[in-house]
Each structure stands twice: as structure tokens, then as C-alpha cells.
Structure 1
Amino acid sequence: MSKSEAHPDHADSPAVPGWDCFGPQPGWQIVDAGELWRYRELGFVLAMRDFKVRYRQAMIGALWAVIQPVSTLLVFQVLFMLLQRTPTSGEVPYPVTALCGLIPWYLFATLVRDASDSLVNNRHIITKIYFPRLLLPIGTSLVALIDFAISFCVLIGVMLYFGMWPAWTWLWVLPFTAITVAAALAIGIWLSALNALYRDVKYIVPFLLQLGFYVTPTFYEQSSLIPARWQFLQALNPLTGVIAGFRWALTGTNQPEWSVMAISFTSLLVLLGSGLLFFRRAELSVTDRI
């Protein structure tokens, strides 16, 4: 039998010397980096397909990446003006502070939403051929990062309008963006596997993102609205440390507390490791369940 004739999900078939093992392999290996690298071109093709499908017949298109954070900013700015309360320290104009939280949040939310649907939306491919299923949630990061780049340009324009010029701390934007993607994938990988096994998960995702928006310091600073005794609990949210880092990197003020950063990043590592492990185990049965 040739390689192409081998059943794609015979994970328990004995390996033949010189042949690749087709299908997800049982065991507790978190991720097969070598396998992902071998299929990297397929992952890029799938990601580009998703990008073209998303914007092919969209009337607004990529402008939605600008409309979302800007409209949210305007709503909260008017709200806090009516309440006569400032949810920030006041060292930086509120539009800059808010956008520094809203833009990474929408990167996170878009990636979580798309990653959670990635297996179900590609079930017609999953049931026919084998490739590392992890490519599907990872591939959704391409579209999310393009939207992020567009909205980030708006943030830079707003900062220049208020006379805030580039500084060396801006170099930290890239690592914090990478951490945001990792946090989104940590949750998206969990939800993608659960959604493939239990279809009602897709109804829970919008509720979780809506709840997460308010418990994450997106449109406010943690120190301004959250009492000190509860800040460590909010720090369990991986986005808490990331957004604090974004604000410090872009504005140079309010350097985040290392204790908050440490808690957030530890939570992120736990979520990512457990998500990859759960996905690896669920991959063995996802073809039959999807």
C-alpha cells in the first residue's frame, strides 16, 4: 500500500521504517513541533484561504478593525464624562489609555472566537485527510494579526495627535503582542477541541468574551477602579499583565507591577500547556465526533 492510500486516522498502526506515521499519535506529548514544521506550507495555505473568505464579499472589510475599538472608546468616554469619573490615573489622555487596552483585547477576542470554530468549520477537510489539527487554530492568528496591525496604526495616529512620540519602550510592543497571541491560542485551543466534541460550546464563547471584556482592564486602569485587595485575583487573567505591559510600553508611564505580571504569565503558561495537552488527547477522537 502506498502512503497516500493509508487511512488518515490509523493512529494505532505500527510505524514502518522510513515512513511517516499517519494520524495523531497516542501519548502525552504536548506538541509535535517537527510535524507542525513539515506541514507549515499547508498551514499557510489554510490561513490565506480564511483571510480571502473573510474579506472577499465584505462591504466594510478591514475597516471593521478600526470601527470596533474606536466606537467602543467613544461609548465609554461619553459614559465616564456623564458619570464625571475618570477610570485612569490621568497622566495620559483617556483615548490613548483606552485604545492601549482595547486594541490588544480585540486581537485576543478575534483570535479566541476564530480558533474556537476552526475545527468545526473545517470538518469537511478533517474527515478526509490527515494533517496536524493544531494548524487550524494556529492559522487563525494570521487574520487576527492583520486586523491588529490596522487598528494599531490608528492608535499611533491618536498618540501623535496628543504629542506622544516614539520611545525606546515601544520595542516591547512586539513581545507583548506575541504574548497576547499565545494567551488567545491557549484559550482558543481549549475551546476548539471542546467545540468539536460538544457543539453547544459555540454558544458559550460569546458570553465568555463579553464577560472577559469587563473583568479585563481594557477601558480602565486596574489601579483606578479595582481595590488593591482584589487586584491579585484579577491578575489571574492573562490579559491583565499583557495590557498593563502594552500601556507602559507605548506611554512610558505606570510601569506594571512585577507581581501582577508574574501571576498573569504563570496563568498563561498553565492554560497553554494544559490546552495543548487536552487538544493532543482530543485529536485522537475528533474525526469520529466532528
Structure 2
Amino acid sequence: MKQEQPLTIIQADQGWLPLNIDEIWAYRDLLYLLVWRDIRSRYRQMALGPLWIVLQPLMTIAIFSVVFGGFAKIPSDGIPYPIFAYAALLPWQLFATATVKASDSLVNNVHLISKVYFPRIIVPIAAVLVSLADFAASFGVLLLMMLFYRIYPTFAVITLPLYILLAMGTAWGVGLWLASLSVKFRDVAIAVTYLVQIWFYATAVIYPTSIVPEKWRNLFLLNPMTQVVEGFRWALLGNGQPPNIISLLAVILVIVLLISGAFYFRQTEGSIVDEI
């Protein structure tokens, strides 16, 4: 008598669903493959290849130093302006690149999503992790700049991984919301560009928080990315805003953003293929 094979039915769930973190862990090999695929394909057909990782921020800093540090005379709290701006631009680019990539990740991977079952949330997670690889390469340039300017980190440098995690958490939270919305509304991709630009000027990348009026400073510091860039300056350059109660509120804001984004993503996950 022929034994019947077990039948597995995969169907879309409904309503607010659990995150199923164990399922994400089970597909960790796929997450690794997606990250490695994107890293290789990004620079495969470029003449300078991975050098663009460090050339792009260096060219940006050169422009910032001339325009904002030279012409506009924006203060840098006693730190040479190039390294003052670069220490903030580095985590900002991690966030901005990760956010844009995560928001486009579902649309860009429709060929994979429509053919193979796996937790769809892996796609925006992989997009953020790819940006972390670029950050690691550019961070080496920052260390060389610190040696050139003879600036040495203090014991506060041990907090640096926490600020990196805060930047990635912010990117994941925003990216999960935007990735879900971009499937339904294709003009979200256009809005993301403007959102990142506005957020850049609302973050203390090219200027210190000391020039922000006192009555607005606490509200200004609620911006998680201002906490990140000020934290980088404090941990590496001995300059910037050390963590305080406002930092804790910013972290809570990111946690709420991340959890709500993950649950919203799970709610809309079942209709992703149909919408795309």
C-alpha cells in the first residue's frame, strides 16, 4: 500500500500577528545569502569597485568643509571641521542608505518573493545589514582622520556599538513601515527621498547642537539620529552631547517605531505578492 505524503498548506494569515522571531532565525542562511548577494552585485561592474564606499563620503566632506566650514563659518566646537562633520556623516549615511534600501527592498525583490516562501521581513532586514558593510569600510577612514588630527578616543568609545545599534534600529523601524507602504503606493519611493533630505537638516550633521536655541534643544534631541551623531562625536572626539534622560526617551521612541513597524509589516505580509 502506497504511503501518502504529508501535505503542507501555506496561506496568508490575517490580523495582527506574532512576529515569529524563531522563523526568522530558521531562515538565517537565506538572510546571509541575500546580504552577500547585494554586496557582491553592488560593485561588480564598477571601475573603482569598493573604493566608492570611502570616496563618496570623502568627497561629501570636502564639499561640506568648503561650503559650511569655510564660507558659512559654521562652528564645530573646537574640533577641526572635516573630522567634526565626518564623525556625524558616517552614522548618518548608515541610516540614510539603510532606510532607502529597506523601503525599496520588497519591490526590488519581487522576483524572489513571488516564487519562494520565506519570512518576507528578512528582505528589509538584509537591506539594512548591507549598509552596515559600507559603514565598516568607511569607519576605517575615520580612524585614519583621527590619527591625522591627533584625536584619540576616551573610555566612552565602548558605547559606540550602542549608537550604531540605535541608527540601525531607527532605519529598520522606518524601513519596515515604508517597505509595506511602498507596495501599495508606488510614489512612496519619491517621498522617501524628500523625507531623508528633510531629516538630514533636522539632524546635527553639519552643525553642533550648541547653536540650537535652548528652548528648542530638548525637542531637537528627541530626534534619534541627533542622538546617534552627537553620541559618535562624544564617544570618538570627546565632543558632543553625552547620554542623558532625553537619550532614553529617544531610545524608547525607536523601540516603539520598530515594534509597530514589525507588526504592521506582519499584518500586510500576506498581500505583498498580490499588491506587487
State the TM-score, normalized to the length of structure 2: 0.92
Q: Counterparts of 1:43-58 in structure 2 under 5 Å?
A: 43-58=31-46
Partner of 1:214: 201
Partner of 1:124: 111
* Residue 201 (structure 1) aligned to one of 188, 192, 196: 188
1:163-206 per-position Cα deviation (integer Å, ceiling 9, x unaligned): 11243222222221121111111111111111112111111111
Partner of 1:223: 210
Question: Counterpart of 2:74 in 1: which secondary structure?
Answer: coil
**RMSD across aligned C-alpha pairs, in angstroms?**
1.9
Compared with structure 1, are the counterparts of its residues 139 and 81 closer, same or farther at alpha carbon in structure 2 (3 Å cutoff)? Answer: closer
Partner of 1:42: 30
Partner of 1:170: 157
1:259-284 per-position Cα deviation (integer Å, ceiling 9, x unaligned): 33123212212211211111111112
Partner of 1:261: 247
Partner of 1:26: 14
1:224-269 per-position Cα deviation (integer Å, ceiling 9, x unaligned): 2x21212223223210111111111101234425133123212212
Partner of 1:250: 236
Partner of 1:15: none
Compared with structure 1, are the counterparts of its residues 167 and 289 closer, same or farther at alpha carbon in structure 2 (3 Å cutoff)? Answer: same
CA distance in 1, matches of 2:69, 2:110: 48
Partner of 1:279: 265
**8 Å Cα contact 2:152/2:236 also seen in 1:** no
List alignment gaps of at least 5 residues for structure 1.
12-24
Moved more, 55-64 or 279-288: 55-64
Compared with structure 1, are the counterparts of its residues 2 and 100 closer, same or farther at alpha carbon in structure 2 (3 Å cutoff)? Answer: farther
Matching residue's letter, 1:271 = L
Compared with structure 1, are the counterparts of its residues 30 and 240 closer, same or farther at alpha carbon in structure 2 (3 Å cutoff)? Answer: farther
Matching residue's letter, 2:168 = V
Matching residue's letter, 1:61 = G
Compared with structure 1, are the counterparts of its residues 120 and 167 closer, same or farther at alpha carbon in structure 2 (3 Å cutoff)? Answer: same
Question: Counterpart of 1:59 in 2: which secondary structure?
Answer: coil
CA distance in 2, matches of 1:104, 1:201: 24
CA distance in 1, matches of 2:18, 2:216: 33
**8 Å Cα contact 1:101/1:218 also seen in 2:** yes
* Residue 235 (structure 1) aligned to one of 221, 243, 246: 221
* Residue 77 (structure 2) aligned to one of 69, 74, 89: 89
Moved more, 152-161 or 257-266: 257-266
1:47-73 per-position Cα deviation (integer Å, ceiling 9, x unaligned): 211112111112232222212222222
CA distance in 2, matches of 1:152, 1:237: 23
Deviation at 1:138, TM superposition (A): 0.5
**Quick check: 1:76 aligned with 2:60?**
no
Compared with structure 1, are the counterparts of its residues 202 and 7 closer, same or farther at alpha carbon in structure 2 (3 Å cutoff)? Answer: farther
Deviation at 1:160, TM superposition (A): 0.5
List alignment gaps of at least 5 residues for structure 2.
none
1:97-122 per-position Cα deviation (integer Å, ceiling 9, x unaligned): 11111000001111111111111111
Q: How many residues align?
A: 273
CA distance in 2, matches of 1:175, 1:64: 27
Compared with structure 1, are the counterparts of its residues 283 and 77 closer, same or farther at alpha carbon in structure 2 (3 Å cutoff)? Answer: same
- What is the aligned-residue identity percentage? 41
Moved more, 148-157 or 203-212: 203-212
Question: Counterpart of 1:283 in 2: which secondary structure?
Answer: helix
